[in-house]
Structure 1
Amino acid sequence: MNRYDGDESLERTFAALPPARGKGFARTWWGLAWLKALEDSALDNEQLKAGRRLARAGGVGAVSVRPGRVTAVVQDRDSTHHRADVLLEELSGEQWDRFLDMTAERAGHVAALLDRDMPPHLVEDAAVTGVDLLPGMGELQAECDCGAWDHCAHTAALCYQVARLLDQDPFVLLLLRGRGESALLEDLQARSARGVTPVGAAPEPGGVDAAEAFAAGDILPPLPDLPEPPEEPGVPPSLDTETPPPADTDPAALEYLAARTAAEAHRLLMGTLRAEPHHRAEELPLAQDAVRLALGAPDPAVAERLAEGSGRDREQLALAVRAWRLGGAPGLAVLEEEWAVTGEALARARAALDAAWDEEERPSLRARGNRWTVVGAPAQVRLGRDGRWWPYRKERGRWVPAAGPAQDPATALASVEG
C-alpha cells in the first residue's frame, strides 16, 4: 500500500539523463545493487533488454520520485511517448522504527548518514532487523499506458534509469521506501540523543553509557578536539647500528615489516576518524601473504625473498601485486586460476554476455574456461567465482589486469577499451 499524501517535500524530480551508449548503467555499489535486484527478479529478459536499449539511447525523460512510486515519460523507438510508473512497497511505521533504532545504535551509520552518505553494509544490517531496503522478488510493480500487464520496455527503461539516479544520490531509495531525507535525518538525530541522564540528576549505577554520553551534544561538556593526524605514516627507527644482527635476523626484511606495520596502523587511524568500517584480517596462505607484503615496493633483496617464498619469479610477483592492488585475494585468484564454467554458473555467464550488449554492438568473443577473449583485439574479460567480471589486456605477450571488477562484462570490457 502506498501512503503518499501529496506532500511536495516528499517528491523529487530529476532531469533527464544523457544517453549511455557503450557504458554500464551504474558505477556505485547502490546503483549496481539495484540492477542486480531488478535483473534477478525479472520474469521477461527480453523486456529488460528492450528497456535497457531505450534507457541507453536517452529515451527516459525527467524522473519523479516519491514514496512508493517513481514516474517518467519514456519515448519509444517509434517516437511515441508513454507514461511509465514503477511502484515499490513503502516500509511500515514499525519497520521504520526498527531500521532507525538499529541505525542510531551504530555510530558509523549515524556519522555516514549525517554526512549524506549511505554505507553499503546498511542493507545487511537492516536485513538483520527484518527490513529489506532493496526490492525483492516481484516487489517492483509496473504501470504503463501502453497496456502491458507486467513490466514492458518502458517500465524496464525507467528501472534502469533509477540505477543511474542511485549513483548520484542513494537517498532516492529511502524516499521510495517512504521517508524524505530531512525527516529521516531529524528522526535519526532525535533517537541518537535519547536516554541521556539530565545534568544534575543522579546517574544509574555504573555511570552513563559511553554512546549516550557522546550523543548528548551540547548537554554535556564538549569532548576535546582530536589532534591533527599525521599526513603520512611514521618511519620506524633504522636498524643500521654498530651492533651486528643475530645470525638468523635480516635487518632489511625487519625494517620493511616495521614500515608496513606503521602504514597499516596509519590506515586504521585514518579510517577510524572517517567512520569507515574495518574488517578483521584473514589468515592468508603464504603465497598470498607474500603478495600482500610486496605491495609496499620493498627493496630488491626483500622483493627477491618474497618472490622466492611465494613460488614466483620477480616478474610473476609484480603481476600478482598488480592484481592484488586491483582486487585483493579474489583479484589474485582470477589472475592465477583458470577454471571450467559449468552448470548454473555457465548459464548465468551466458545470460550476462547476451544481455550486456545490443545485437549490433556485441563483440566476437572466444571462450576458454572462465576467460572470454575478444577476437582480433588484445582485450579479455574473466569471470570470478563470485560472479564479477574482471578486465584484462595483453601487454608484451602476457595478459595483465586492466582495472577492478565490474558487475557485467560490457562495463568490464569498456575499461580495457577506454
Structure 2
Amino acid sequence: MVVIASPDDRWSWIEIDLSALRRNTTAFKRRLERGVQMMCVVKADAYGHGAVRCANAMHAAGADQFAVATVREGVELRRAGIELPILILSQPPVESVQTLVEHDLMPCVFEADFALALGEAAAAAGTVAKYHLIVDSGMTRIGVLPADALELRRAIDFHRGLECAGTLTHFATADVPDDRDFALQLNRFHSTCQAIRDAGLDCGLVHCDNTPGTLLHPECHFDMCRVGIGLYGLDAAETTRSALALEPVMSVRSRVTRVVYPEVGAGVGYGMTYRVPKRNIQVATVPIGYADGLSRTLSNNMDVLVGGRRQPQVGNICMDQFMFAVDVNANRTCCPVPEVHVGDVVTLIGADGNEQISADEMARLRGTINYEIVCNFGQRLEKIYV
C-alpha cells in the first residue's frame, strides 16, 4: 500500500483515485455506439467522491452531460466552471425556476404548472429553458403517466420560453435478466415516445438506461445512457459483476491514535459489549465513527486492515471513534502478529498488501447496498485525491 500524508487536523480521510475514475468512465464510454451520449451521474456529491473533481475527471474521459439530484448540486457545478449540460433528476419546487434559468440547469418535468412557471422565468430573462420530460413507466416514483404524456406536452409546448431537450424514464429492475416488469416499462416508454413523435413533437434526447441497463440492455441505449455507480468502480448488482471490469475509486483510511494492553476481562466501549478474553490483546483506537458513515450496526462484526492483516473491530462503534483488537500471540510460532503502534494506517475500505475490504463486503454486513456505504463516508471525511 502506498501511504500518503493524512490530514493535519484529523487522522481520518477518504482517498479518491481519479485515474481509476477516468478509466471507468472511458470503459463505459466504449460500450456505447458512436453518437450515443453518456450522461454521468454526480448526485450526492458524486456518491460521496466529490462532485466537482469527479466531474472534471469524467469530462476529460468522455462525459457528454451530467446529472444531479438537486438544484443546489447543479449550481455547485456551474460555479466551479462546469459548462456541459446538467440535468436535475427530479422536478424541483416551483420556487427554484429563477435559479434554474440563471444557471442554465435542465429540470425533469411532469407537471404543467411547473413547466409554465419555468417558461415564464426564461422568457422574462430573454432566454429559453430546456427541460426533460420524465415518464413514469412503472416504477411509481416520479413522472407523468404514459397516458397523460402527450397531453402534457401539448399543454406546455406553445410557450416560447420552453424547449424539450429530452424524454426519459427510469427502470426499477434493469439488473434482473428476462424480467417481465422491465419489459413492460420499456414497452410503455417506447409507446409514449412514439405517440409524441406521431403528434409531430420532438422528444429531444431519448434515454432510459441506468448503470445496469447500460451494461445489460444495449438495445435500450437510444440517444443517451445515464451512468452512475459503475463510474466509481462499484457494481450495481451481482448480474453486472462480470459485464465490465471496474476499479474501485474510494478507499477509507485512518491512523491509530491510542494503543493499550487492557487487563483480562476489561470492557471496551459503550455498554462494554466486548471484554478482553486473555492476555497480550492490544486494543487500538481509530478516529472514525458513525457520524463519519461507519454504521453502529457493524459493531463487533467487521474487520479492518493494518499492515496487510485483518483485525477484528471490537466494542460498540462510537460517534467519532472505534476500537479494534490485535492478538499479538496469534500464530506466534509460524507467523507472528506484530504489535500496532500510534500512527499506523488502518484501512476500512480498500487494499493493504494482499488483503482488501470492499464496499460490497461492508454493505453485506449492514444489509444494504454499496451506494449507501460510499455516500455515507463522503459526508464528513476529508477527501484526498490521488
Whether these two folds match at TM > 0.5 is no
Q: Which has the larger radius of gyration?
A: 1
Name the one with the larger strand percent: 2
State the TM bucket, normalised to the shorter chain. under 0.3
Q: Relative contact order (C-alpha < 8 Å, sep 6+): which is higher?
A: 2
TM-score, normalised relative to structure 1 = 0.23
